């Protein structure tokens, strides 16, 4: 009996050791979530972000792994400060390998838009109640770094509610994986034109920004392909301009050089 007892103790100890080693040796992948903006013609757009979560898909046995919190530190972000390649880090988390299907942003009620020096409340009923869900369907592998860019399109996300004077926030957000993305950069010679700059693929405006005061612009989060780059001046008596067949090879940045709106 002593021999059997000794064998059982040894076996149990070995199994526990293997179990602990397997758990401790699991290599996680790292996800970082960034927020940038395709700007709108406003003075400021403040968005109240309370929480960021990601959803892990079902296990092999069909069980649902559920939601994982990335960040619970509330922040109020002015979207119009996040242009020309600037971004806000919303959170970073280590994740077990597997398929992740959705990202969820929980918004608070401190959302405002500033027009002609006056702040107006933005209502976001659906995003406040259950969170704004974005489809991902990405496979996370251990030991890898993943950077998810959320491009919050301010111009498309704000809707004026009839003649009531109220404004609604209906978020339009595009996503891109930075490791798989390239960029387009350049400088508008007539910097006083303060042009809007758009990357267009086919009939779809993929990314947008506004050139800086010195004329520099940077469009990030672009997959490989050919784009039209359109310039729409917001000041001065300048005409718009479009560059055709601008090729992006991710993860490189394509520099189109100086762009003269008067040519």
DSSP string, 191-258: GGG--EEEEEETTEEEEEEE--TTSEEEEEEE-SEEEEEEEE-SSSS---EEEEEEEE-TTSEEEEEE
Q: Selecting from 3.30.1490, 1.10.860, 1.20.120, 2.60.40, what CATH number does the domain 27-180 have?
A: 2.60.40
Residue 40 has a pLDDT of 82
Query: Tell me, what's the pLDDT at 54?
Result: 95
What is the per-residue pLDDT for 160? Answer: 85
What is the structure's pLDDT at 26?
Answer: 75
Q: In what order do the strands lie in the sheet with 241-248?
A: 204-210, 196-201, 225-232, 241-248
Q: Delimit the domains of the chain by residue range.
A: 27-180, 181-263
Give, for all 263 residues of the chain, the pLDDT tens digit: 444 344 333 434 444 444 433 445 679 999 999 999 888 889 999 999 999 999 998 655 444 568 999 988 899 999 999 999 999 999 999 999 999 999 999 999 899 999 999 999 998 766 556 788 999 999 999 999 999 999 999 888 998 887 777 899 988 899 999 999 999 999 999 999 999 999 999 988 899 999 999 999 999 999 999 999 999 999 889 999 999 999 999 999 999 999 999 86
Write down the pTM of the prediction: 0.83
DSSP state of 28: P
CA–CA separation, 51 vs 117, rounded Å?
Answer: 29
Distance, CA of 243 to CA of 222 (rounded, Å)? 16
Cα 171 versus chain centre, distance: 12
What's the pLDDT at 60? 52
Same fold, 27-180 and 181-263: yes
Q: Which of 253, 163, 176 is nearest to 221 (CA)?
A: 176
Measured between its terminal Cα atoms, the distance across the chain in Å is 96
CATH of domain 181-263: 2.60.40.1120
* Greatest pairwise CA separation for the chain in angstroms: 98
* Separation of alpha carbons 180 and 139, rounded Å: 14
Q: What is the Cα–Cα distance from 160 to 154, expressed in whole angstroms?
A: 13
């Amino acid at each position: 009996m002593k021999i059997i007892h000794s064998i059982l103790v040894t076996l149990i100890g070995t199994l526990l050791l293997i179990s602990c080693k397997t758990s401790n040796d699991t290599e996680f992948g790292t996800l970082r979530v960034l927020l940038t903006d395709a700007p709108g013609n406003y003075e400021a757009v403040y968005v109240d972000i309370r929480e960021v979560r990601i959803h892990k898909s079902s296990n092999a046995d069909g069980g649902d792994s559920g939601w994982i919190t990335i960040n619970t530190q509330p922040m109020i972000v002015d979207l119009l400060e996040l242009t020309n390649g600037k971004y806000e880090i919303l959170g970073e988390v280590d994740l077990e390998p597997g398929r992740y299907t959705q990202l969820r942003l929980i918004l608070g009620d401190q959302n405002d838009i500033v027009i002609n020096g006056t702040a107006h409340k933005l209502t976001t009923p659906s995003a406040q109640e259950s969170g704004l869900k974005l489809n991902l369907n990405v496979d996370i592998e251990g030991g890898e770094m993943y950077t998810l860019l959320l491009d919050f399109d301010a111009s498309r996300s704000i809707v004026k509610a009839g003649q009531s004077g109220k404004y609604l926030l209906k978020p339009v957000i595009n996503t891109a994986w930075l490791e798989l993305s390239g960029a387009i950069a350049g400088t508008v010679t007539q910097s006083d034109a303060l042009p809007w700059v758009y990357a267009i693929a086919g009939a779809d405006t993929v990314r947008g920004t506004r050139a800086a005061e010195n004329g520099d612009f940077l469009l990030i989060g672009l997959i490989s392909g050919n784009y039209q780059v359109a310039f729409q001046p917001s000041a001065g008596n300048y005409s718009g301009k479009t560059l055709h067949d601008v090729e992006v090879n991710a993860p490189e940045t394509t520099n189109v050089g100086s762009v003269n709106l008067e040519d």
